[in-house]
Amino acid sequence: MSRNEILEQLKEILITADERGAALLDLVTEDARLQEDLGLSSVNLLYLIIAVEETFGIRFDDVGVNAFPTVGDVVTYIEGKLS
């Protein structure tokens, strides 16, 4: 799976994790910070982790949400788990 495909799937997860829905899409770039730029709450971040695990069939190994400050960091982690 390419980095861009991972990002697109991550965008879909993010719009379901946040009440702003599709309005969030324009904000989601690899450089966007999950909490500061996208304004995700701790509940949104927990949902994101669960949805990523289910969607990509991976597990987050003893890492906290703060280990992924940006969308790009999440994409890189998923990429590493899939390879």
Domain boundaries, the chain: 3-82
Rounded Cα distance, 53 and 47, in Å: 10
Alpha helices in the chain (DSSP H): 3-17, 42-56, 71-82
Is the pTM higher than 0.95? The answer reads no
Print pLDDT tens along the chain (83 aa).
Answer: 999 999 999 998 988 877 776 777 788 999 999 999 988 888 888 888 899 999 999 998 877 667 889 999 999 999 999 98
Write down the pLDDT at residue 67: 82
Q: Measured between alpha carbons, how far is residue 51 from residues 9, 31, 44, 45 in Å? A: 10, 21, 10, 10
Write down the pLDDT at residue 65: 65
Write down the pLDDT at residue 27: 87
CATH architecture of residue range(s) 3-82 = Orthogonal Bundle (1.10)
